[in-house]
Structure 1
Amino acid sequence: MDKITKERIALLHPSVRDEVTCIINECNKALTGRAQIRISQGLRTFSEQDELYAQGRTKPGKKVTNAKGGQSVHNYGFAVDGVLILDGKTASWDFKKDFDNDGVADWDECVKIFAKYGWSWGGNWTSFKDFPHFEKIGFNNWRVLQAKKRDSQNYILL
């Protein structure tokens, strides 16, 4: 697991950090070729979310989210976005490529591992496909998360 992924996992909600570490390690063990998975996004502040929401609306670029600040599971530390890193340096969002030539697309291998641990995949959404996105089932309703009390570090209390 690379340093960037470790740093991003450390910012997730404490209740999922160890699990995400296991998931990433298992994904990387399954990917026996050039690719490894990296967490490209984890916890996101409300203001960071608002910046993304503005993209394609009040700021240049294409729309990348339908969620305003507070309306994303990322804002509570229960969602991650991933990317495949080839040879330790090049990002790939090719979700169909089988870099380790085992007959299964590398991304599909990761999707199955996340699912085994109880995470849903944004590629299964019907209205807005978000292929890099995973969120913890049971903690994937921002309205419920928004209403919960928080600890001194601003993490929601379970």
Structure 2
Amino acid sequence: MDKPTIDRIALLHPDVRKEVAEIVNECNAALTGRAQMRIAQGYRTFDEQTKLFNQKPKVTNAKAGQSIHNYGLAVDIVLIIDGKTASWDTAKDWDNDKVADWKECVSIFKKYGWDWGGDWKSFKDMPHFEKKGYKWQNLIKLKKDKQGYVIL
């Protein structure tokens, strides 16, 4: 697991940090070739969400508070090829095992109970995974702990 991934996991909601680290390690073990998975984005502040929402071209439909990222319960991934090149290619099989590397990661996330943005009907978000069962409409109402994370 690379340093950017470790740093981004450390900012996720405390209830999912260990699980996300396990998922990353399992993905990287499955990707026996040139690709390794990196967490490209995890926790996002409301200010960061507002900037993304206002960005052109449009990259998100979620305003501040409306993204599961704002609660540390979502991640976006990228594959790092040969330790240097970022890839969001969902079809490439870098390890030549007859399964697209991206799909290997999707399967592992789903095994742990995470929803994949690639399954969404309207706005497909291929790099996005979020912990199943959480809705921003409920999370925004919850109290926060001393570190600022919602109390689940």
Same fold (TM over 0.5): yes
Q: Which residue of 1 aligns with 2:101?
A: 106
Residue 46 (1) aligns with residue 46 (2) = yes
Q: Residue 42 of structure 1 aligns to which amino acid in structure 2?
A: G
Q: Which residue of 2 aligns with 1:156?
A: 150
Superposed, 1:4-153 pairs within 5 Å as: 4-56=4-56, 62-139=57-134, 141-153=135-147
Q: Residue 154 of structure 1 aligns to which amino acid in structure 2?
A: G
Q: Which residue of 2 aligns with 1:59?
A: none
Secondary structure of the corresponding residue to residue 48 of structure 2: helix
Q: Distance in 2 between matches of 1:63 and 1:96?
A: 24
Q: Percent identity?
A: 68
Give the TM-score taking structure 1 as reference length: 0.95
Secondary structure of the corresponding residue to residue 24 of structure 1: helix
| Structure 1: gaps of 5 or more residues | 57-61
Q: CA deviation at 1:138?
A: 1.5
Secondary structure of the corresponding residue to residue 22 of structure 1: helix
Q: Give the paired residue count.
A: 152
Q: Distance in 2 between matches of 1:31 and 1:10?
A: 23
Q: Residue 121 of structure 1 aligns to which amino acid in structure 2?
A: W
Output one character per residue of 1:36-61: Cα deviation in whole Å (capped at 9) or x when no partner: 000000000000000000012xxxxx
Q: Distance in 1 between matches of 2:147 and 2:137?
A: 20
Output one character per residue of 1:95-147: Cα deviation in whole Å (capped at 9) or x when no partner: 110000000000000000000000000000000000000000012x1010000
Q: Distance in 1 between matches of 2:103 and 2:90?
A: 8
| Structure 2: gaps of 5 or more residues | none
User: Pairwise CA RMSD of aligned residues?
Assistant: 0.5
